Amino acid sequence: MSKKSLTFAGIIVTSMLSLGTAHAAGECAVGKTIEEGVLTVATGNPAYFPWVIDNAPEAGKGFEAAVAYAVAAQMGFEADQVTWTTSSFDQAIQPGQKNFDFNLQQFSITEDREKVVDFSVPYYTSALAVIVRQQAIDAGALPTLESLKGLVWGADANTTATPIIQSLIAPSSDPLLYDDTVDVIEAMNANQIDATLLDLPVALYQAAAVMDDGVVLGQFPADESNSPDHFGLLMEKGNPIKTCVDAALTALSESGQLAEIEAEWLQQATDVPMIE
Amino acid sequence: MAEDAALPLKMSRAAYNAQKKRRSLIVASTSMLTVLALIYYFVPRAPGWERVKDSFFNWDVFIGTFPKLLDAFLIDVMIFAWCAPAIAIWGLVIALCRDARSPALFPLRVFATVYNDVFRGVPVILVIYLIGFGIPGLGLSRTWSNPYIWGSLALILSYSAYVAEVYRAGIESIHESQRSAAKSLGLSHWHTMSHVILPQAFRRVIPANMNNFISLQKDVALVSFIGPVELLRQAGVEKSLLANFTPYVGAALIFLSVTIPATRLADHLIAKQNRERG
């Protein structure tokens, strides 16, 4: 807990420094957006629950859709001055002009990625959860590292879950990798893998609403895992709008608005055991 | 006497041809060099070149990821190694079904026709998903739901359809008179096939089938959609972690190192065959 608040304090201090150059919310972004007076936000297609509800980010429903509108409002953009576009992960990191001011689709901030693109300060820090089917639990799977090592793992190849599984769990057989979460879950249903690592809100949703017999076996607390999963808004490298976005996010987290959005859209898990 | 007179003429023609060949060689290499020089000069002057170079041709990323890519390529080689013979055999079975001439075997012809229509018409990736996730989803044990088994089966089913069509073209290219001749010698249908038609048909379709297997060599990567971490997937993972496309360039080089020699061999075989027939 103390570790978490320390990191958070660090983030706030760094953003305070950048705040120094940022002016009042409305003026900051002038001349910095790709289209004047309009904030263009990108997300995935499809965008998934609970990040965006019904793949319609313009409705402002879902955690990331709500964060985008809150950031926009903080930066001085009315809701009707926000336009949405879609991008894949690859489009987000390709060299050349971007077609968005910022892009949010649960991008984990990593040092390697920061060499190529810019990230905002984190808008969410996710705990990672292990999801399995009931049959694995019947076979004796427990929320302990020892037990997790013996499972067959699968993961979305485009996420940071792969190295985290390798470093945190180090399973005895090599993980199988898939294109997206849908395929990972399908492989679990096809009895090809036992377990996968998902962001906790996604894991809760998959277990409750998508899978017939999915169970969230346990979670790695966000502040204790070796690679905490901080989500950042992705921007083109060197985009001057970063200072405005960072200032807006910092203000939102200080005012408690970000926590409110989180409480509204992301299911709070009280009964998922911690893994040891 | 007449031969002596013809000799200088012959020599001058040889000299003329050699000169012509030299000249075209000079023209070809000059134009090639010019094109390369233009690319070399202009591409790095494009405003975004540094970014593109960083994203696609990043030496550090290349060196850091290439050994892992080579390791992953072994999986492709493995899948190819067991799929290729199975495709060659199953493709032949389908081709023979299509060539069945007895009225009683009509259902076989229908089966083979429908088979070819379906598997040539449906994208390989869909077949891989359907078989790779669908069949194990029916409730197979862990051993039998292995994605390598079902991914390979999907490749075998799809590619057999293409290979069968090539075989069929080969079989039909053998002149009808050879069947009649075999019949008049008292050979049965199957003996005619195994001793007269197929040995010739096989030889004729080797180059065409090599092209099928070259393309199989690349499509093996599609099995990664249902789990196995082969070359393309490994490159994708590195790309995602480093936010850099260089690992894909590395993967392309590995694929090329196999496909280019194989394509040249196929070209060579085709040219040889054309010379023999011509």
Which CATH number does the domain housing residue A247 bear? Answer: 3.40.190.10
Two tokens at B206? 């080797």
Q: Report the residue from A116, A186, A189 with minimal CB separation from B244.
A: A116
Q: Which phi and psi angles does A88 have, rounded to 5°? A: -85, 175
Domain shared by A240 and A194, yes or no: no
Contact residues on chain A for B227, CB-CB shorter than 8 A:
154, 176-178, 187, 192-193
Q: Write down the mean pLDDT value for chain B.
A: 90
Query: A196: Cβ–Cβ under 8 A, 6 or more apart, which residues?
Result: A130, A131, A153, A154, A155, A156, A161, A184, A185, A188
Residue recorded with tokens 């078989």? B131
**pLDDT per position as a tens digit, B25-72:** 999 999 999 999 999 999 888 888 888 888 899 999 999 999 999 999
Query: A166: Cβ–Cβ under 8 A, 6 or more apart, which residues?
Result: A175
Q: What percent of chain B has pLDDT over 70?
A: 96
Min distance B272 CA to chain A CA atoms (Å): 44
Task: Please indicate, yes or no, if residue A9 is contained in any of the structural domains.
Answer: yes
Task: Please indicate, yes or no, if residue A274 is contained in any of the structural domains.
Answer: no
Question: Which of A105, A111, A116, A229 is the best mutation test for B, with the most CBs of B within 10 A?
Answer: A116
Confidence (pLDDT) at A161: 87
Question: Which of B52, B240, B248 is the best mutation test for A, with the most CBs of A within 10 A?
Answer: B240
Domain shared by A172 and A58, yes or no: no
Task: Please indicate, yes or no, if residue A272 is contained in any of the structural domains.
Answer: no
* B266 pLDDT more than 50: yes
- Give the span between the Cα atoms of B69 and B164, in whole angstroms: 33
Confidence (pLDDT) at A231: 92
Task: Please indicate, yes or no, if residue A276 is contained in any of the structural domains.
Answer: no
The answer to whether B124 and B154 are in contact (CB under 8 A) is: yes
Residue B208 Rama label (left phi>0; alpha psi -120 to 50; beta): alpha
* Peptide bond just before A46 cis, omega within 30 deg: yes
Within 172-191 of B, beta carbons closer than 8 Å to A belong to none
Closest to A129 in 3D by CA, of A204, A51, A181 = A204
Contact residues on chain B for A177, CB-CB shorter than 8 A:
224, 227, 229, 233, 237
Residue A238 Rama label (left phi>0; alpha psi -120 to 50; beta): left
Min distance A237 CA to chain B CA atoms (Å): 10
Two tokens at A272? 């998922």
Closest to B100 in 3D by CA, of B88, B90, B112, B91 = B112
Residue B277 DSSP SS3: helix
Interface of A with B (CB under 8 A): 89-90, 93-96, 110, 112-113, 115-117, 152, 154, 157-160, 162-163, 174-179, 183, 186-187, 189-193
ipTM of the complex, rounded to two decimals: 0.75
Task: Please indicate, yes or no, if residue A273 is contained in any of the structural domains.
Answer: no
Domain shared by A173 and A51, yes or no: no
- Give the span between the Cα atoms of A53 and A209, in whole angstroms: 14
- Give the span between the Cα atoms of A269 and A58, in whole angstroms: 27
Number of domains in chain A: 2
Domain shared by A243 and A109, yes or no: yes
Domain ranges of chain B: 2-45, 60-277
Contact residues on chain A for B134, CB-CB shorter than 8 A:
190
Q: Report the residue from A94, A174, A179 with minimal CB separation from B229.
A: A174
Query: Model confidence at A67, in pLDDT bands (50, 70, 90)?
Result: very high
Query: A187: Cβ–Cβ under 8 A, 6 or more apart, which residues?
Result: A154, A176, A178, A193, B133, B147, B226, B227
Cα Rg of chain A, angstroms: 19
- Give the span between the Cα atoms of A58 and B217, in whole angstroms: 44
Min distance B142 CA to chain A CA atoms (Å): 6
Domain shared by A22 and A115, yes or no: yes
Count CB-CB contacts under 10 A for residue A63: 23
Question: Which of A191, A227, A234, A239 is the best mutation test for B, with the most CBs of B within 10 A?
Answer: A191
B241/A175 touch (CB, cutoff 8 Å), yes or no: no
Domain boundary among A220, A239, A255: A220
Q: Write down the mean pLDDT value for chain A.
A: 85
**Strands A229-231 and A214-220, bridge-based pairing:** unpaired
A158/B146 touch (CB, cutoff 8 Å), yes or no: no
B198-219 and B59-99 helices, crossing angle to 10°: 150
B146 reaches A (C-beta below 8 A): yes
* B242 pLDDT more than 80: yes
Task: Please indicate, yes or no, if residue A271 is contained in any of the structural domains.
Answer: no
Task: Please indicate, yes or no, if residue A275 is contained in any of the structural domains.
Answer: no
Domain shared by A243 and A134, yes or no: no
**pLDDT per position as a tens digit, B81-129:** 999 999 999 999 999 999 888 899 999 999 999 999 999 999 999 999 9
Contact residues on chain A for B244, CB-CB shorter than 8 A:
93, 112, 116
* A183 pLDDT more than 60: yes
Domain shared by A8 and A133, yes or no: no
Q: Report the residue from B51, B133, B233 with minimal CB separation from A157.
A: B233
- Give the span between the Cα atoms of A230 and A112, in whole angstroms: 14
Domain shared by A170 and A209, yes or no: yes
Range of the domain at A114: 2-125+228-265
Return the minimum-mean-pLDDT range out of A221-235, B118-132, B226-240, B254-268.
A221-235
- Give the span between the Cα atoms of B274 and B120, in whole angstroms: 28
Domain shared by A113 and A175, yes or no: no
A187/B133 touch (CB, cutoff 8 Å), yes or no: yes
Domain shared by A211 and A244, yes or no: no
Q: Report the residue from A116, A187, A189 with minimal CB separation from B227.
A: A187
Domain covering B60-277 assigned CATH 1.10.3720.10 in the classification: yes
**pLDDT per position as a tens digit, B144-178:** 889 999 999 999 999 999 999 999 999 999 999 99
- Give the span between the Cα atoms of B10 and A92, in whole angstroms: 67
Confidence (pLDDT) at A3: 44
Min distance B71 CA to chain A CA atoms (Å): 13
- Pick from A92-106, B46-60, B132-146, B239-253 the range whose average pLDDT is largest: B239-253
Domain shared by A52 and A101, yes or no: yes
Domain shared by A171 and A120, yes or no: no
Confidence (pLDDT) at B9: 65
Contact residues on chain A for B245, CB-CB shorter than 8 A:
90, 93-94
Q: Report the residue from A94, A160, A175 with minimal CB separation from B241.
A: A160
